[in-house]
Amino acid sequence: MVITLYQTFLYKELSISLFIFLITHLFFRTFLLKINHKKLPPGPKGYPIVGALPLMGTMPHLTLFKMSQKYGPVMYLKMGSHNMVVASTPSSAKAFLKTLDLNFSNRPPNAGATHLAYDSQDMVFADYGSRWKLLRKLSNLHMLGGKALEDWSKIRGDEMGHMIRTMYDCSKKDESIVVSEMLTYAMANMIGQVILSRRVFETKGYESNEFKDMVVELMTTAGYFNIGDFIPILAWLDLQGIERGMKSLHKKFDALLTKMIEEHVASSLKSHRVKPDFLDRLIAQSKEDSDGEKLSLTNIKALLLNLFTAGTDTSSSIIEWALAEMLKNPKIMKKVHEEMDQVIGKQRRFQEADIQKLPYLQAICKETYRKHPSTPLNLPRVSLEPCQVNGYYIPKNTRLSVNIWAIGRDPNVWENPLEFNPERFLTGKNAKIDPRGNDFELIPFGAGRRICAGTRMGIVLVQYILGTLVHSFDWKLPNGVVDLNMDESFGLALQKKVPLAAIVSPRLSPSAYIL
C-alpha cells in the first residue's frame, strides 16, 4: 500500500515537473523572440504545449490552405516545441526554394526517416552533403537522367505491351479494372528491369497487390503529422501508434529488398551480364570510389526503397486522377481521342515520340499536376540559419512546408481553380508553364536542389502511360456507378480515397494489342 501511494505521488510529481518544464521552455523561446524585436509571420495561436498540432485534422493540406486565406502567403505555426513556416503562393515558395534554397537544403528529423528510410540513409531524407550528392549522381547517371531514360525506353514499351494486353483480355470478359493495381504492377516491373534486370512480378495477382498496399501504407504513414516529431519528449509514448506501424512495415520492405539483392548477387555469380544494371553499379560503388565516398548495404537498400515506392506511387496517383477527371468530363476524353486519332490513327500503339505532337494530352497532364499534385505538401525542409522572408523573421531550425496543393488552388493565380480545364495550358501565359521546378505556379515535384530526383522520369511515365491507356481504350464506369467519388486521402502522396475502377473497350486495330 505504501509503495503504491509512493508510486502515485512520484508519478504526479514527475507529471507536474514535466508540465512546468514545457511551459517554461515555450515561454522563454517566445519571450526571447519578442525582446529581440523579431517579427514572426502571422499564424494561429494554437494551444499550450501542443501548439497548432490539434488544428491539422486529417487533411492538413486543406487546413493549411484555409489558414493561408486568413493569415497570408507566409504563415508561422508553433507545432509542439518546434517552429514551422508554411508557404502557400508561387512568390513565397520561390523565396524559400530558390532565393533561400541552400539555407533550406536539409530535412528535419522525423519518424519516417528514422523507421522507414533506414535512419535517413536514403536519398530523400539524407542531409545535403557528399553521400546525398553521390546517391543523386548515380541515380541521374544510370536511371533517372535524360540519357538513362532514353536507354530504358524499350523496357517501358515492352511493359506497356504486357499491360494493355492484360487490359484487352479483361475487356473481352467485361471485367472491371482497378487502375491503381494495374499501374503499380506495370511500373514496379519497369523499375525492376532497370534496377535488377528482371520483372519483379511475372503475373498480376496477390504479390503485386500486396506490394501496392505496402507502398500506399508507406506513403500514407510517412505523411502523418506525428506528435513525437513535434514534441520529442513524448516520442517514446508513440501516442498515435504511428511508429509501431512504421517499424512493422519496415521489416516487410527490408525482407523484400534483402531478398532482391541476395538473388541478384547469386545470379551475377552464375552468369555475367553484358550490360551492368543499376544494382550492379550500386554494388560496385560500395567497393570503391575515387572521391572517397562509399555506399553501404544500408545505403543501397534505402535508395532502392526510394525508387520502388516513390517511383511507382507518385506517378500512378497522377495517372489515376487524370483518368478519373476525364471520366467525369467526357468532353475532355473525346477531345484527346480526336487529337490522337488525327496524329497517330488506330492501326498502331501509342509511342513516346508521339507526345510532342499532342499538346492537349500534355495540357491534361499539367492540369492534373495542378489540381491533384502527387505530393500535396512538399517534403519538409529545415532552416540551417535564421533568415528573413517578406520582412518576417524565420528562426534557425524552423521547419518549412510548401503547400503545393494550395498553390494549385490559388484564385489569384488560376481562373476557376476548382474546375478541371486543360485548355488553360494551351494559350496565353500558361502555355509556357513547365512542371520541372522553374515555374513556381506549377511545382508538383518541388523545386531547388532538393527537387524530386525522379522529376524527368515522372513526367515521362505520366505522359507515356496515360497516353497509351487513353489511346488504346474507351473508358466507362462499372455498371451501377453513377457518381464518381473524387475524395482525397492524405499522405506524402495524394491518393484517391476510393480507388478508380473502370470498364475498358478496345478502340484500336486488334493487331495493336498483340505482344
Q: What is the CATH number of the domain that holds 353?
A: 1.10.630.10
Torsion of CA 119, 125, 130, 134, to 10 degrees: 100
pLDDT of res. 37: 55
- 325: nearest Cα among 271, 286, 368, 283: 368
452 marked ligand binding residue: yes
How far is residue 210's CA from residue 204's CA, in Å, rounded to a whole number?
A: 11
Q: Are 305 and 211 in contact (CB under 8 A)?
A: no
Backbone φ and ψ for 434, nearest 5 degrees, come out as -125, 140
How far is residue 117's CA from residue 258's CA, in Å, rounded to a whole number?
A: 14
Whole domain around residue 379: which residue ranges?
38-513
pLDDT of res. 40: 97
For the record, the C-alpha cell of 437 comes out as: 521546378
Residue 210 lies in a domain: yes
For the record, the C-alpha cell of 245 comes out as: 506501424
SS3 content of the chain, % helix, strand, coil (to 5): 55, 10, 35
Residue 82 lies in a domain: yes
Dump pLDDT digits (tens) for 355-399.
999 999 999 999 999 999 999 999 999 999 999 999 999 999 999
Compute the average pLDDT of residues 178-207.
89
Residue 16 lies in a domain: no
Instruction: Tally the domains of the chain.
Output: 1
Q: Is 17 helix (H, G, I), strand (E, B) or coil?
A: helix
How far is residue 490's CA from residue 494's CA, in Å, rounded to a whole number?
A: 5
Least confident of 28-42, 129-143, 276-290, 360-374: 28-42
Residue 188 pLDDT greater than 80, yes or no: yes
pTM score of the predicted model? 0.91
Residue 311 lies in a domain: yes
Residue 28 lies in a domain: no
The count of other CB atoms within 10 Å of the CB of residue 419 is 11
What mean pLDDT is reported for the chain? 90
**DSSP states of 384-412:** SS-EEETTEEE-TT-EEEEBHHHHHT-TT
Residue 247 lies in a domain: yes
Residue 256 lies in a domain: yes
Residue 24 lies in a domain: no
Residue 35's pLDDT band, with cuts at 50, 70 and 90, is very low
Torsion of CA 303, 304, 307, 309, to 10 degrees: -110
For the record, the C-alpha cell of 288 comes out as: 570503391
How far is residue 310's CA from residue 452's CA, in Å, rounded to a whole number?
A: 10
Dump pLDDT digits (tens) for 95-153.
999 999 999 999 999 999 999 999 999 999 999 999 999 999 999 999 999 999 999 99
Q: Is 501 helix (H, G, I), strand (E, B) or coil?
A: strand
169 Rama sector, left if φ>0, alpha if ψ -120 to 50, beta otherwise: alpha
Least confident of 27-41, 62-76, 470-484: 27-41
